[in-house]
Amino acid sequence: MSLFISDAWAEGAAPAGDAGLMGLLPLILIFVIFYFLLLRPQMKRSKEHRTMVAALAKGDEVVTSGGVLGKITSVDDSFIGLDIANGLEIKVQRSAVSSLMPKGTMKGKA
């Protein structure tokens, strides 16, 4: 019977612990790259936005996430009043403010 099939003899087996760690190394490397390229910058932007929204004051000129430019006329805990035209005021949530504009952006206001 052993005329066509030769017996297989085991060589020295590699340690199982070393192969497991080498198998996890690419996964760990991908997670580290993911953290530094995606998660960390997003957390930084989120923190900057929270501090900007918390520091909003009357008279600041802002742009909402919908693209509305206005001057803050009143500040509440969760809402702000925006003067977007002469005598036209709207209320928006504080979190809807996307950016703070430089003073004088709204020219032509009396």
Cα gap 38→21, rounded to integer Å: 25
What residues does 62 pair with on adjacent strands? 70, 100
Question: Rounded to whole angstroms, how far apart are CA atoms 31 and 18?
Answer: 20
Q: 79-85 and 69-75: which strand pairing? A: antiparallel
- Judgement on whether residues 64 and 96 belong to the same structural domain of the protein: yes
In a domain, 31, yes or no: yes
Per-residue pLDDT of the chain (110 residues; tens, 9 = 90+): 556 766 666 665 555 556 677 888 889 999 999 999 999 999 999 999 999 999 999 999 999 999 999 999 999 999 999 999 988 999 999 999 999 999 888 875 54
Instruction: Determine the structural domain holding residue 40 and report its residue range.
Output: 17-55
| Measured distance between the N- and C-terminal CA atoms of the chain, rounded to whole angstroms | 105
CATH code where residue 62 lies: 2.30.30.60
Residue 44 and residue 37: Cα distance in Å, rounded? 12
How much is the pLDDT for 106? 83
Domain count within the chain: 2
Is residue 3 in some structural domain? no
Domain identity same for 62 and 38: no
Q: Are residues 69 and 93 in the same domain?
A: yes
Say if strands 79-85 and 61-64 run parallel, antiparallel, or are unpaired: unpaired
Q: What's this model's pTM, rounded to 2 decimal places?
A: 0.66
- Say what the pLDDT of residue 37 is: 95
Cβ atoms of 103 and 61 closer than 8 Å: yes
